[in-house]
A and B are shown apart, each in its own frame.
Chain A
Amino acid sequence: MAKDNQILEEITSREYEHGWTANLEADSAPKGLNEDIVRFISRKKQEPDWLLEWRLKAYRAWLTMKEPRWPNVTYPAIDYQDIIYYSAPKQKAAPGSLEEVDPELLKTFEKLGISLTEQKRLTGIAVDAVLDSVSVATTFKEKLGELGIIFCSFSEAVKEHPELVKKYLGSVVPMQDNYFAALNSAVFSDGSFCYIPKGVRCPMELSTYFRINAAKTGQFERTLIVADEDSYVSYLEGCTAPMRDEHQLHAAVVEIYAMKSAHVKYSTVQNWYPGSKEGVGGIYNFVTKRGLCAGDHSKISWTQVETGSAITWKYPSCVLKGDYSSGEFYSVAVTNNHQQADTGTKMIHIGKNTRSRIVSKGISAGLSQNSYRGQVHVLKRAINARNFSQCDSLLMGDRCGAHTFPYIDVENSTARVEHEATTSKIGEDQIFYCRQRGIDEEAAVALIVNGYAKEVLNQLPMEFAVEAQKLLALTLEGSVG
């Protein structure tokens, strides 16, 4: 055991790879939050009145709400007046094309392995890059435009496609949905917008890359994806942040609206700065993600690999309204050192013959706490609803915790809901078996963990799967029980 803990220590002493800060001049709001700040943000973004009103309504609602205390996480009270709600890297004007983007900005993203120069088409992924509060570049826009696909920053969507934004904003996650969603609705500064027209299969992965750069700044982005009838899109989201001693708040909202027979696949590799080994700093990742299967036969799949953040509070959910619609949730959540995660999903079965599938793989190491919280709710009229849930926990070492909170709520007797759960430890026997074959401890743990998470990793698009595998290995490798 002592030996195992030592291995764990060695491996967890690795530094966070994306912890550097780029030297970018920023245009920021003063610290704190009040109606003037909300107005400031709206004005900065030259928004129409209806959106300012929407924000103010959200802000006023937020004032009456309380921060949720039910998640299985602990942290000191957040001082909402000590946060900067808007920070944008200074650019001459909104860049009209990539050539006009500040080279320092492009470099920032290059350093993260994300090329925003379209000449380098190697990856074949369209990217919307969001730095602090604003979107700095969206690639492949013209090519997608030929198919009628809209993929742009949220701010641009407000300007160019106000009717779509007005119609769908808040249609899946109402502004008063919860404390953090209300906060986001009041102060969100940018994010991505995507519309896939009827019958179109998006030919490339669409991706948003979020990066927090400025200090003391919260990131409140909003993503809205609307998939029209018979369309398909696969959407990726990645994120990193510099190492800082203070906690930074990230409260995002993602809404997906799927019409008849539309299929949306949303994948996340979340690698926000997790804080130091001693638990200093790190991102508070309080995120609301929800998809509405509005049309019959529609489908929404969430896949997430959560390795970063000091605290994660996030439940990507599906509201299965259309008949024969289906929702999926595949998750690997890794916590190490002092990280805390309370994550899972909600599957709300409303339509007939709706299906949902939940595969959750928790991995806890160090002194971390990792909770799965999931709800399966079958409403009265959801005849023949089916759910299958598999929730596994893997423990490394004996100082971490794994918890499972399944809530099953069935109001229709024809429903079939299955829940399976396991808890296991990486065995010394497994590690030794690998070592006896010439595989060192780090590689052994990487192998075992990736094997454990395979069912989820298999859901990711190829490029992401490779990255996610490396990330898993990097985040914990080691630690036995």
Chain B
Amino acid sequence: MLHIHNLRAGIEGKEILKGINLDVKPGEVHAIMGPNGSGKSTLASVLSGREEYQVTEGEVTFMGKNLLEMEPEDRAREGIFLAFQYPVEIPGVSTVNFMKTAINQIRTYRGEEPLDAVAFLKLMKEKMKLVEIDQSLLNRALNEGFSGGEKKRNEIFQMAMLEPRLSILDETDSGLDIDALRIVANGVNKLRNPSNATIVVTHYQRLLNYIVPDYVHVLFNGRIVKSGDKELALELEKKGYDWIKNEPATA
């Protein structure tokens, strides 16, 4: 599904990703861990097409297409979803309205008819239940005055609505208390199926108790320095990141 080969990218002339290799297949959950500043969010930004970042080398294909050539909206329409670490506020625009616009643009791209009001409402009700989110929150201006937990839950709601092939969750666990964390993780788990995949970017092992990954990668200083299964996350939790800094890079 996603194939990243020797990806190098940076911002304002400063190289941040220094040769990333990663393969994600349908049905898989990959966790990317690493200390602050190691380049996790940068990787998420590059995959979703943020234009401030320059790719200097390497290739990325998604469903066989060259991802790096696509506009951000087309990447989204092809099925890439990013749950933002810091979701932005859009005053005066409700989540409902926002989602209606998004879904209909995506459907148009795919050559489908726009959803009518009834079908949209039905879909929304169904997804609201899935991620345990309240209608009143969805009628409010997007992220405006939302608590940290509400913002993250809203991201997962949007993910549920858009049914992406590949979801990238950037620190979706940060700032959540244990109940919110469980709700968010629950939502993600319910949305898992054999044809979609998830990349969970996180700082802590905690989230991985709820969203169990198939693979864990450690990103350090712009490189994936170690990959393993969920045991690796536990090891990191115990020993911290220091021991890994001395490990040679693995492909």
Contacts and interface: CB of A to CB of B under 8 A. Distances in A.
What is the predominant secondary structure among interface residues of chain A facing chain B? helix
B158 A448 contact: no
A281 interface: no
Contacts, number: 75
Contact of A439 (B84, B92, B102): B102
Given A436-B82, A440-B73, A440-B105, A429 B88 contact: yes
A3 B109 CA distance: 23
B92 A455 contact: yes
Interface string A418-436: 0000000001111011111
A440 B75 CA distance: 11
B32 interface: no
Interface stretch (B15-23, B93-101, B127-135): B93-101
A443 interface: yes
B125 interface: no
Given A438-B109, A440-B105, A447-B101, A454 B92 contact: yes
B84 A433 contact: yes
A433 B101 contact: no
Contacts of B249: none
Contacts of A436: 48-49, 72-73, 75-76, 81-82, 84
B90 A447 contact: yes
Nearest to A427: B88
A157 to B, nearest CB: 40
Nearest to A453: B92
Contact of A435 (B72, B90, B98): B72
B222 to A, nearest CB: 22
A217 B52 CA distance: 50
A451 B91 contact: yes
B71 A437 contact: no
A450 interface: yes
Contacts of B234: none
A3 to B, nearest CB: 6
B93 A448 contact: yes
A457 to B, nearest CB: 9
Nearest to A455: B92
Contact of A438 (B50, B91, B97, B162): B162
B93 A439 contact: no
Given A437-B98, A451-B141, A443 B105 contact: yes
B106 interface: yes
A435 B50 CA distance: 10
Contacts of A3: 51
A439 B162 CA distance: 12
Given A438-B77, A440-B73, A433 B102 contact: no
Contacts of A388: none
A116 to B, nearest CB: 33
B87 interface: yes
Contact of B76 (A437, A451, A455): A437
A447 B98 contact: yes
A452 interface: yes
Instruction: Report the interface size class on chain B.
Output: 20 to 34
A430 B92 contact: no
A336 B77 CA distance: 31
A433 B90 CA distance: 9
B73 A435 contact: yes
Contacts of B92: 450-455
A429 B106 CA distance: 20
Nearest to B78: A438
Contacts of B90: 430, 433-434, 447-448, 451
A443 B100 CA distance: 12
A54 to B, nearest CB: 46
A435 B93 contact: no
A402 B140 CA distance: 28
A436 B47 CA distance: 11
A455 B91 CA distance: 11
Contacts of B98: 434, 437, 447
A433 B93 CA distance: 13
Interface string B16-34: 0000000000000000000
Given A443-B101, A443-B105, A451-B141, A437 B158 contact: yes
For A438, A450, A451, which residue has the most chain B Cβ atoms within 10 angstroms?
A: A438
Interface string A184-223: 0000000000000000000000000000000000000000
A439 B101 contact: yes
Interface in B2-60: 48-52
A439 to B, nearest CB: 5
Contacts of A435: 49, 71-73, 76
Nearest to A448: B90
Interface string B188-214: 000000000000000000000000000
A361 to B, nearest CB: 10
Contacts of B49: 435-436
A455 B93 CA distance: 11
A432 B45 CA distance: 10
Indicate the member of B89, B98, B99 with the most A CB atoms within 10 Å: B98
Nearest to A433: B88
Nearest to B107: A438
Contacts of B106: 438
Given A439-B102, A453-B92, 11 more contacts: A427-B88, A430-B88, A430-B89, A435-B49, A435-B71, A435-B72, A435-B73, A438-B102, A440-B105, A447-B90, A452-B92
18 contacts: A3-B51, A427-B88, A428-B52, A432-B72, A435-B71, A436-B49, A436-B75, A437-B98, A437-B162, A438-B103, A438-B106, A440-B105, A443-B105, A447-B101, A450-B92, A451-B92, A451-B93, A455-B92
Interface of A: 3, 427-430, 432-441, 443, 447-448, 450-455
9 shortest interchain CB distances as A-B pairs = A451-B92, A451-B93, A454-B92, A438-B76, A437-B102, A435-B72, A438-B106, A435-B73, A429-B88
Interface of B: 48-52, 71-73, 75-77, 81-82, 84, 87-93, 97-99, 101-103, 105-106, 109, 141, 158, 162
